[in-house]
A and B are shown apart, each in its own frame.
Chain A
Amino acid sequence: METITLLMGGFEQALTPTNIALAVFGSILGTIIGALPGLGPSNGVAILIPLAFAFGLEPTAALILMTSVYYGAMYGGRISSILLNMPGDEPALMTTLDGYPMAKQGKAGEALALSGLASFFGAFLATIGLVIAGPLLAEVAFLFGPAENFALYAMAFATLGGLASRNQGKAIFAAGLGLSLAMIGLDGPTGSTRYTGGHLHLMEGVDFLVAIVGLFAITEVLMFIEHQGKESAIGIKVGRITAPIKTVWHCTGTMIRGTAIGFIAGVLPGAGASLGSFLAYSVEKRISNKENTFGKGDPRGVAAPEAGNNAAAGGALIPMLTLGIPGSGTTAVMLALLMTMNITPGPLLFAEKPDLVWGLIAALFIANIVLLILNIPMVGIFVRLLMVPSRILMPLVAMVAFAGIYSISGSLFDIGLMVAFGVLGYILRKLGIPAVPIILGILLGNQMEKHLRRALTISDGELAILWSSPISISLWAIAITGLIAPLLLRRYLRPRNQKS
C-alpha cells in the first residue's frame, strides 16, 4: 500500500511539463542513438551527460532525461537490426537473427511493429518489477555494514567478471585495472597523495566521465577507422507498420518468457541487456523451435530477444538504485552521472530521497508509453535517419564527445586523458578485454576501499570480520558461484552448441 502512495507521489513529480518534455526529448534522442549502428546506449548516455549539466537540471530531472535515453536506446536498437542486419547496439544483436529474414520476406513493417510491442511489454513489466523489488532490496541492503558492503562489491565484480568475458583472467585484469586507477588522487582519511606524480590535475583522481567517454566513444571512432568503407544502405521496403492480431497473440507466451528471463538477467550485476536478449532468444528457440523456423524469420525470434533486452534494461536499474552497483555498462554510466551530482545510490536513497526514486520510476512508465508511440506509428522517422552515413555520424560523435568533456571540466589535460583512454580501449577491445569492469572499478574503487578499511578498523585489523555475518557469507558464496558458474555452464553448453 505504501508503495502505491509513494508511486503516486512519484507521478506528481514526473508529470510536470518540464519533466514530461524531458521524457519525450530523451525518448526521441534515445531511439535515434539506439537505431544508429555504432552508437550504443553506453556511448549515447555518456556523451549526453554534459547536456544534463548544460540544462542546469536538478538530479530528478537529469535522471528522467537519462533513463528515457536509456530505455529509448533499448527500443531503437532493433530498427537497424531488422532493416540493415546490423545491430544498432549490442543487446539488439539477437534480433538480427529473425528480424532481418522477416524484412527480406517483405515483412519489415510487421517485424518492427511486433518488436516494438515486445519491447514495450518487456520494459513495462520490468518497471513494475522495479516498483515491487526495489524497496524490498533496499530494506535488506539497509542491514549492510562495512563488511557486507565490501562483500557486495566483490560480488559485483565477480559476477560481472564471470559474464562479461570468455576469459576470466581478462575480466579480473579489467577489474584490477579499474580499481588501480581509482587509487590515483588524494586519500580521504589520511590525506596522503597517491600516484599523482605531482600533477595537480590528478589530486581529485581520474574523472570517471573522462574514462567512460574515452573508452566508449573514442574507441568506437578508432574501430570505425579500422573498418572504414563498410556500409550498407537500406534496400528494404518497410511497408505498413502493423502486426496481425493473430501473430501478436501467437507471441504472447514468448513475450512473457522473454520478459521473465531478461528481468532476472538484468538484476544480476553483469552483462545486463545483452545477456538478457541472448538468454531469452536461446531459451525460446529451445522451447518453440519445433518446425525449425527460427533463424528464417520466425516472429517469435523477434519478440523474445526484444522483450528480453528491454526487461533486462529495467531490471538493471534495481541494483543500481538500491545497492549502488550497476547491472550493466549503461547503468554504470548513469551511476557516474549520479555520483557527479553528489548523489550516492544505495539503500539510503530510497529512505532519504523518495522524491527522486519514485519520480524516476514514474517517469519510466511515462517514457514507455511515449516510446510505444514513437516506435510503432512514428517509426518511419527513425528509419529515415538510418541513412546518415558513418562518415558524417562518426566525426560528429567524436567532436560532441570532445566538446562535452571540455565543457564539463574545462581542462585540456582531461581531453588528453580521454584520448589516452580511447587508445587503451582500442587495444583492450582487440584483445577481448572487457571495458565495463574497468569503469566499474574506477567508479566503485574508493567506496570499496573505504568499506574495507572501516571494517578492519572495527575489528582492529582482524580479517575474519569480512565473513562473519550470514549476509556477508551469502554474498561471498554468490561471488564465488558467479565467477565459476559461467565456466561450468560454458563447458555444459558447448557440445550442444556445436550440434545446432
Chain B
Amino acid sequence: MSDRVFGAVFLVLALAFIAGASQFDVPRFVDPMGPKGFPRMAGAAVALSSLYMLLRPDPNPSWPDRRRLFEIAFVVLVFIGYVYAMKPIGFVAATAITASFISWRLGSRPAIAPVTGIIIGFSIYAVFHLALGLSLAKGPWGF
C-alpha cells in the first residue's frame, strides 16, 4: 500500500515535471535536442518507475506506530522552527534549544537535556566561529 501511495504521488509529480518542460523559453537557435529533451527523459524515468511501484508494490514496510510517527513529525517541525528562529535569536540559542529537544527525545532526562543542548550550542560556536572563523547567524547578543 505504501508503495502504491508513493507511486501515485510521484506519478503525478513526474507528469507535471514533464509538462513543465514545455514552459521553458527557448532561443531560436539551439542544439538539436534543446533544453527540454533531457528533463523529459528524466521525468519519464520517474513516471514509469512510479507507475511500476503503483502496479507492483512491495510488501509494506513496518511503519512506526502513530505516537512515534507524530514524534518524528514533531522533530521535523522543530527543525523548521530552528530555521526560522536562527536569525531572530541567533545561532547558539536556537541550536541549544533544538539540540536539547532532540537529546530529550532520544532518552536524556529532562534535567540533563538542556545541559547537553547548551554545551553542544556553545561548542559548535567555538569550533566553527571562534576557531575556524566561519560565519554563523548572529543573534541579539552577538552570538
Cβ of B121 to closest chain A Cβ, rounded Å: 7
Q: Is the interface of A mostly helix, strand, loop or mixed?
A: helix
Q: Which residue of A lies closest to B41 (CB)?
A: A179
Whether a CB of chain B sits under 8 angstroms from the CB of A351 is no
User: Is the CB–CB distance between B87 and A456 below 8 Å?
Assistant: no
**Bound CA span A169–B6, Å:** 13
**Bound CA span A226–B25, Å:** 45
User: Is the CB–CB distance between A445 and B42 below 8 Å?
Assistant: yes
Cβ of A358 to closest chain B Cβ, rounded Å: 29
User: Is the CB–CB distance between A229 and B107 below 8 Å?
Assistant: yes
User: Is the CB–CB distance between B53 and A191 below 8 Å?
Assistant: no
User: Is the CB–CB distance between A456 and B99 below 8 Å?
Assistant: no
Q: Which residue of B lies closest to A426 (CB)?
A: B72
Stretch at the interface among A2-10, A342-350, A365-373, A407-415: A407-415
Question: Which of chain A's residues 431-461 have a Cβ closer than 8 Å to chain B?
Answer: 431-432, 441, 445, 448-449, 452-454, 456-457, 460-461
Whether a CB of chain B sits under 8 angstroms from the CB of A183 is yes
User: Is the CB–CB distance between B24 and A399 below 8 Å?
Assistant: no
Using an 8 Å CB-CB cutoff, how does the interface string of B32-44 with A read, 1 for contact, 0 for none?
A: 1111011101111
Question: Which of chain A's residues 204-223 have a Cβ closer than 8 Å to chain B?
Answer: 218, 221-222
Q: Is the interface of B mostly helix, strand, loop or mixed?
A: helix
Size bracket of the A interface: 35 or more
Whether a CB of chain A sits under 8 angstroms from the CB of B93 is no
Question: Which of chain B's residues 98-126 have a Cβ closer than 8 Å to chain A?
Answer: 98-100, 102-103, 105-108, 113, 116-117, 120-121, 124
Whether a CB of chain A sits under 8 angstroms from the CB of B8 is no
Contact residues in B for A389 (Cβ distance below 8 Å): 107
Q: Which residue of A lies closest to B45 (CB)?
A: A176
User: Is the CB–CB distance between A403 and B95 below 8 Å?
Assistant: yes
Cβ of B60 to closest chain A Cβ, rounded Å: 9
Question: Which of chain B's residues 1-18 have a Cβ closer than 8 Å to chain A?
Answer: 2-3, 6, 10, 14, 17
Whether a CB of chain B sits under 8 angstroms from the CB of A394 is yes
Whether a CB of chain B sits under 8 angstroms from the CB of A225 is yes
**Bound CA span A172–B48, Å:** 9
User: Is the CB–CB distance between A183 and B42 below 8 Å?
Assistant: yes
Q: Which residue of A lies closest to B55 (CB)?
A: A169
Whether a CB of chain B sits under 8 angstroms from the CB of A105 is no
- Among B20, B106, B117, which residue has the most Cβ atoms of chain A within 10 A? B106
**Bound CA span A54–B105, Å:** 31
Stretch at the interface among A260-268, A316-324, A416-424, A492-500: A416-424
Contact residues in B for A448 (Cβ distance below 8 Å): 38
**Bound CA span A194–B21, Å:** 8
User: Is the CB–CB distance between B52 and A183 below 8 Å?
Assistant: no
User: Is the CB–CB distance between B98 and A226 below 8 Å?
Assistant: no
Whether a CB of chain B sits under 8 angstroms from the CB of A402 is yes
Contact residues in B for A195 (Cβ distance below 8 Å): 17, 20, 39
Cβ of B70 to closest chain A Cβ, rounded Å: 11
**Bound CA span A296–B86, Å:** 52
Known: A224-B106, A426-B72, A430-B63. 8 other contacts (CB 8 A): A192-B26, A222-B72, A226-B64, A391-B116, A395-B120, A407-B128, A430-B61, A452-B33
Please report B residues at the A interface, Cβ cutoff 8 Å: 2-3, 6, 10, 14, 17, 20-21, 24-27, 30-35, 37-39, 41-46, 48-50, 52-53, 56, 58, 61, 63-64, 68, 71-72, 75-76, 79-80, 82-84, 86-87, 91, 95, 98-100, 102-103, 105-108, 113, 116-117, 120-121, 124, 128, 132-137
